Amino acid sequence: MTDKNNSADEIAVEVEYVFKHFNAFQAVSDLSFCVPKATCFALLGPNGAGKTTMMNMLIGRILRDKISHSKISVLGYDPNKNELEIKYNTGIVPQENNLDVELTVIENLMVYSKFYGIPKKEASKRIHELLSFMELSEKRSSLIKQISGGMQRRLIIARALLNAPCLLILDEPTTGLDPQVRQAIWDKLRILKASGVTILLTTHYMDEAHQLCDNLLIMHQGKKIIEGNPHNLIRDHMEAYVLEIINKQLFNDTYCNTLRCERTATRLMLYTNQFEDLQTLSKTFGAADYVLRPTNLEDLFLKVTGRGLNDG
């Protein structure tokens, strides 16, 4: 049941050749990745790419297709057989908030500490620590309806941390939150990672993935597109700079012959490694008509997953 050897001790999550279909729909297809302990890993992809399905397969909420050589190992356990052992050692932050709205902040945590079998005295101490870690101590006796969305999100993270998990799985942890809360949550996640917790997250925010993650995987329509360290990925797959021309009608297309260019309905993007070329070019525009900047993860994401909408 637990096939642990020396190398596996350094690995928190191992996914190999995993497929999942729902009737005719192929949600995940030939996915493999590996998350070393005490690192942060992100699954990125457009809506419907299969990120949440993959996360749910790790904790046995969704059972992967039975295919030979297909394997998932989470903390040394197979989620199709040992979901309880995995869930006991893993904190899970779901996409949708699911706090008990009838209960107060502290009661929510108390009830969950019972699910993990934490003795009452120890639970009180732990809850006290977590509320102060998540900066919720003042709201301990408030009802869930009385606290803001950002506080609810922090409370869900606190709830996921109750049993001192060695793996934390977060499905879009900061969607819909203001910049202050987002940055505060990023800080907490960095602290947790430094204390040895392995973090796995999905996100639509490329800056979030870039800031937090040691490695990431971009998936599209259930398949892996690219995987690696965010800096390396940008270096290897993108030009260093981009000139974004905000109104493409201001520009004649002749440069598209020499530079890689992408068009949207209103904008034109010119990519190159030569900063000076773009700088020279930009002088022909008014200051409000262009942005000249280094390329980032979002540029890469759009390059590899396409600019079409994926919510159809």
- Residue 277 in contact with other proteins, rule: CB under 8 A: no
- Residue 115 in contact with other proteins, rule: CB under 8 A: yes
- Cα separations in angstroms, 178 against 56, 100, 186, 307: 27, 23, 12, 26
What are the two backbone dihedrals, phi and then psi, of residue 179, each rounded to the nearest 5 degrees? Answer: -55, -35
What are the two backbone dihedrals, phi and then psi, of residue 213, each rounded to the nearest 5 degrees? Answer: -95, 140
- Residue 67 in contact with other proteins, rule: CB under 8 A: no
> Measured from the CB of residue 197, what is the shortest distance to other proteins in angstroms?
8
> Measured from the CB of residue 176, what is the shortest distance to other proteins in angstroms?
16
Which window, 95-103, 198-206, 217-225, 291-299, contacts other proteins (CB under 8 A)? 95-103
What angle in degrees, to the nearest 10, is found between the helix axes of 230-237 and 297-305?
Answer: 60
Per the CB < 8 A criterion, the answer to whether 193 and 19 are in contact is no
- Residue 59 in contact with other proteins, rule: CB under 8 A: yes
- Residue 65 in contact with other proteins, rule: CB under 8 A: no
Binding mask 5-44 for other proteins (x = CB under 8 A): -----------------x----------------------
**CB nearer to other proteins: pick between 17 and 133:** 133
> Measured from the CB of residue 196, what is the shortest distance to other proteins in angstroms?
8
Whole-number Å distance between alpha carbons of 173 and 97: 10
Q: How many residues bind other proteins (CB under 8 A)?
A: 45
Binding mask 173-192 for other proteins (x = CB under 8 A): ------------------xx
Per the CB < 8 A criterion, the answer to whether 111 and 103 are in contact is yes
Residue 249 DSSP label: G
- Residue 96 in contact with other proteins, rule: CB under 8 A: yes
- Residue 146 in contact with other proteins, rule: CB under 8 A: no
Whole-number Å distance between alpha carbons of 278 and 293: 10
| 24: exposed, middle or buried (Cβ count in 10 Å: 0-12, 13-18, 19+) | exposed
**CB nearer to other proteins: pick between 12 and 281:** 12
Contacts of 229 (CB under 8 A, 6+ apart): 214, 215, 216
**CB nearer to other proteins: pick between 110 and 256:** 110
Tokens of 138: 């003042």
The two beta strands, 40-44 and 198-202, are parallel
Task: State the residues that interact with other proteins by CB under 8 A.
Answer: 22, 59-63, 83-85, 87-89, 92, 94, 96, 98-103, 107, 110-112, 114-119, 122, 125-126, 129, 132-133, 159, 161, 163-164, 191-192, 195-196
